[in-house]
Homo-oligomer: A and B are copies of this chain.
Amino acid sequence: MATSPTSPAPSSTQAFADDDPYLIIAADSHAGLPTEQYRQYLESRYHPQFEEFLGEREAQIEASTRLGVRNEQYAKQWFEDHDEELAGGWDAIKRDQALDGDGVAAEVVYPDADAVESRTCVPFGAGLGLSGDLDPELGMAGAKAHNRWLAELCSHSPERRKGVALVPITVETDKVLAEIRWAHEHGLGAVMIPAMWVDQLPYHDRSYDPVWALCEELQMPVVTHSGAAARDEYGDHLGIYVTEVTWWPARPLWFLLWSGVFTRFPGLRFGVTEGGCWWLPQLLWFWDRLAMGQKGSEKLSKDPFKGALGDMLPSEIVDRNCFTGLANVKRRELGQRYEIGIDNMLWGTDFPHPEGTWPNTNEWLKKTFFDIPIDETRRMLGLAAADTFGFDLAALRPVADKVGPTPSELGQLGEGRTAADLEARWAPVKQVGRHWLTGHDFPLISP
Contact = CB atoms under 8 A, between A and B. Distances in A.
Contacts of A258: 237-240, 243
Nearest to A305: B239
A65 interface: yes
Nearest to A69: B300
B335 A237 contact: no
A202 B301 contact: no
A257 interface: yes
A355 B254 contact: no
Nearest to A246: B286
A259 B236 CA distance: 9
Given A202-B234, A239-B290, A446-B443, A328 B74 contact: no
A75 interface: yes
A347 B96 CA distance: 56
A299 B350 CA distance: 14
A161 B297 CA distance: 28
A286 B243 contact: yes
Interface string A224-244: 000000000111111110111
Contacts of A204: 234-235, 237, 240
A322 interface: no
Interface string A64-75: 010011111111
Contacts of A299: 69-71, 74-75, 78, 115-116, 354-355
Interface stretch (A100-108, A146-154, A275-283, A405-413): A275-283
A285 B278 contact: yes
A255 interface: yes
A181 interface: no
A331 B75 CA distance: 47
A295 B357 CA distance: 9
Contacts of A259: 235, 237, 240
A401 to B, nearest CB: 29
Contact of A68 (B279, B301, B446): B301
B235 A205 contact: yes
A191 to B, nearest CB: 22
A108 to B, nearest CB: 20
* Copies per assembly: 2
A48 interface: no
Contacts of A75: 299
Contacts of A52: none
Contact of A305 (B233, B238, B306, B355): B238
Interface in A288-306: 290, 295-306
Contacts of A354: 296, 298-299
Q: Could you say which of A276, A308, A328, A442 has the most chain B C-beta atoms within 10 Å of its C-beta?
A: A442
A299 B355 CA distance: 8
A65 B300 CA distance: 9
Q: Could you say which of A254, A257, A278, A332 has the most chain B C-beta atoms within 10 Å of its C-beta?
A: A332
A287 interface: yes
Given A75-B299, A233-B202, A432-B446, A287 B441 contact: no
Given A282-B282, A298-B74, A443 B445 contact: yes
CB-based closest 3 A-B pairs: A239-B258, A296-B355, A68-B304
Interface of A: 65, 68-75, 78, 115-116, 202, 204-205, 233-240, 242-244, 247, 254-255, 257-259, 276, 278-279, 282-283, 285-287, 290, 295-306, 308, 328, 331-332, 335, 354-355, 432, 435-436, 440-447
Given A237-B305, A240-B255, 11 more contacts: A70-B300, A72-B301, A202-B234, A238-B300, A238-B305, A239-B308, A240-B258, A243-B286, A335-B443, A442-B445, A443-B443
25 contacts: A65-B301, A68-B303, A70-B299, A71-B299, A75-B299, A78-B299, A202-B235, A205-B235, A236-B306, A237-B259, A237-B306, A238-B258, A238-B306, A239-B290, A239-B305, A240-B255, A242-B290, A243-B258, A278-B285, A282-B332, A299-B354, A331-B442, A332-B441, A441-B446, A442-B447
